[in-house]
Structure 1
Amino acid sequence: MANFYSLLALLGVILTLAPAISAQSGQIRIMALGDSITGSPGCWRALLWQKLQNAGITNTKFVGSLPGQGCGFEYDGANEGHGGYTATGIVSRRDLVGWLSSASPDVVMMHLGTNDVWSNLSPSEILAAYSTMVDWMRESKKTMKILVAQIIPMRPSNCAECYDRVVALNKAIPAWAASKSTAESPIVVVDCWAGFDPSNDTGDGVHPNSLGNEKLANSWYEPLVTAIRG
């Protein structure tokens, strides 16, 4: 009889803990959205995932149609970082609609606009594309958490004006984000620009090298942790 009551007590403890256990085991689905800076191979994502693991933040699932690439260790690397893609092109082809439908993210972290800048598109054109993508994200999930980068600086050898064009885009992003953000689906601006030196942190004036990948991982870490825990 004593064993029977002990079992009942144990069952009561398990039932009490069940909601907490369930909440802890629920995965947050994260889509990294961008161009080759995000996906080719985008090893800052591998370092970011590693930082989350080291902090004990393991309730994440990175999602997207592209697999992770070799970054020296195994990591959760699915993403939507498409080399050569522009924000405006993603919108004109409606690429993101399908990606969202397939991946069902809870959080989108977007570093996008480098190729638009390179193509000499204006900040207003790029931000209009951002707005359309945000609308699609919210149609996919009304409580989508959206992290948008002020993108890294660039000094490619064949585009002397690109550095200042990035400055102009990044300057416009905070006001755009504030106007588009909602309580239900907040937009957080992530400063990937500050402290990033294209001379030292890229191999070609555009794509991060190992130093640049570390800086990008560090830039994303705190905003992403807040989104995961929020």
Structure 2
Amino acid sequence: MLSGTTPLYSSIQTVTYTSMFQNVTSLGSQQDGNFTQNYNEGHPAARIDGIQANFTQALPSYPNAADVVFLMAGINDVAGNYNLSTAPARLGGLIDLMFSSFPNTVVIVAQCSPVTYKPWEALKVQFNAAIPPLVQARVDQGMKIVMVNMSAALTTADLADIAHPTEAGYMKMATEWFRGVNVARQKGWL
């Protein structure tokens, strides 16, 4: 389920570690972007529970485990003020499902990027604060998981609307995702 934006795919294709990425194949039931490897499992406006349902439904389509999963989830829970007290636990459950399905997969989890609507931003900050201990608990259990901080990588100037990045914002996200790939590589996971 290697998924992402055109900038992420371009970064992977042009890195100095080209031998590491010679056979990149993106997986998923969705397509986005004007490039050949544009498959992903990103579903517009999906909350964490929706992402989990989509993942569960898509599992039979994946005969082999993905090497890397890029996961940024929770902003739609924040935007809908949907059971935010349980959102971190639901994110943890989604991650646990991924690892129980594919134990050797590397999951790169992102803290959510900025939003311009101040009430959402305040809720997003609270949600993002719960992600580092959630990730660390799974690292301590031996899961191959890396956290990246999209909230620090982007500013509201990088947004095209209330929550979605501009092309320049997507480039910054690609850089942050790729930083996570390099962390996993340095740990010997990739």
Per the normalisation by structure 2, the TM-score is 0.85
Contact residue 107 and residue 146 of structure 1 kept, 8 A: yes
SS of residue paired to 1:109: strand
C-alpha separation between the residues in 2 aligned to 1:144 and 1:165? 30
C-alpha separation between the residues in 1 aligned to 2:136 and 2:121? 24
Per the normalisation by structure 1, the TM-score is 0.71
Q: How far 1:223 moved relative to its partner?
A: 1.1
The match for 2:129 is 171
- Superposed CA deviations along residues 90-135 of structure 1, whole A, max 9, x for unmatched, are 34xx321122331332321101111100111355411121122122
The size of the alignment, in residue pairs, is 181
Q: How far 1:141 moved relative to its partner?
A: 1.3
C-alpha separation between the residues in 2 aligned to 1:124 and 1:108? 25
The match for 2:184 is 227
1:98 aligns with 2:57: yes
Range 161-170 or range 99-108, more displaced: 99-108
Q: How far 1:184 moved relative to its partner?
A: 4.2
The match for 1:5 is none
> What does 1:1-230 align with in structure 2 at a 5 Å threshold?
30-32=1-3, 45-55=5-15, 56=18, 57-70=21-34, 74-91=35-52, 94-103=53-62, 104-121=65-82, 123-156=84-117, 160-182=118-140, 184-198=142-156, 200-227=157-184, 230=189
SS of residue paired to 1:63: coil
Q: How far 1:88 moved relative to its partner?
A: 2.6
- Superposed CA deviations along residues 126-147 of structure 1, whole A, max 9, x for unmatched, are 1121122122212221222111
Any stretches of 5+ residues in structure 2 without a counterpart? none
Q: How far 1:226 moved relative to its partner?
A: 4.1
C-alpha separation between the residues in 1 aligned to 2:51 and 2:14? 34
C-alpha separation between the residues in 1 aligned to 2:142 and 2:121? 34
Distance 1:177 1:123, change over 3 A: farther
The match for 1:19 is none
- Superposed CA deviations along residues 159-208 of structure 1, whole A, max 9, x for unmatched, are x310111111111110111112356422211111114112x211112100
Identical positions, percent: 27
Supply the RMSD in Å over aligned alpha carbons: 2.0
Contact residue 143 and residue 184 of structure 1 kept, 8 A: no
Instruction: Give the structure with higher Rg (CA).
Output: 1
Contact residue 147 and residue 187 of structure 1 kept, 8 A: yes
SS of residue paired to 1:60: coil
